[in-house]
Amino acid sequence: MPPAADPGLVDKLVVANRILYRQGIVDGFGHASVRHDASRGHFLLARNMAPGLVRAEDIVTFDLDGAALDAAGRRVYLERFIHGEVYRARPDVQAIVHSHSPSVIPFGVTGQALRPVFHMSGFLGEGTALFEIRNVAGDTDMLVSNGPLGVALAAALGSRSAVLMRGHGSTVVGASLEQAVYRAFYAEVNARLQIQAMGLGEVTYLNA
């Protein structure tokens, strides 16, 4: 068991959940995590609950295999393996947001790339990856509910900031909790603006 996490970090994770909910990035589903400040082999994630209701006492410590160390019998998210395997594969990542934000989803089910249309979403200029769970596990419930699926998603993400999940949602990462929340929010805003712009005519993107 690692040392207790900094209470300030726990509070920031609670605030991140509330921000994501109030901005419509998550609803009753979706989740945000942050790497443990005292142990790089662990991360903090709420128990299985609606993000808008998360409190400090709901935060659980996990190892990178997705094992909950202090859940005390509470249910945990099935898709905790997204977080553990991305942290394992990406030492630079300090926080992760998985969401089903509605404007992003169409880009995962069409051949249309999600590309930056305004300056707040410049991070999308590196391109977004696409995770096709069918290529790994055949027809499933679309959930990244075990370690091998988490490994496959992390491989699809590669060195990028975001991966689209066909028919499901997206996962974004950041070098801080603030950056991950920022990217999750502006990926959704950019997707909405890009759809609007494409309806008007030829789009001039930030990148060629």
Is the pLDDT at 208 greater than 80? The verdict is: no
Which pLDDT score, from 0 to 100, does residue 207 have?
81
Q: What is the DSSP letter of 114?
A: -
Prediction pTM value: 0.97
**Stretch 155-182: mean pLDDT, rounded?**
99
Q: CA 207 from chain center: how many Å? A: 24
Measured distance CA(8)–CA(172) in Å, rounded: 22
**Stretch 44-68: mean pLDDT, rounded?**
98
Which pLDDT score, from 0 to 100, does residue 1 have?
81
The domains of the chain, with CATH numbers, are 7-200 (3.40.225.10)
Q: What is the DSSP letter of 68?
A: B
* 169-174 sheet: strands from edge to edge: 59-63, 42-46, 31-35, 95-99, 169-174, 162-165, 129-131
pLDDT tens-place string over residues 67-123: 999 989 999 999 999 999 999 999 999 999 999 999 999 999 998 999 999 999 999
| Vertex 188: Cα angle to 193 and 197 (nearest 5) | 10
**Stretch 61-66: mean pLDDT, rounded?**
98
Q: Which residues are catalytic?
A: 79
Q: How confident is the model at residue 192 (pLDDT cuts 50, 70, 90)?
A: very high
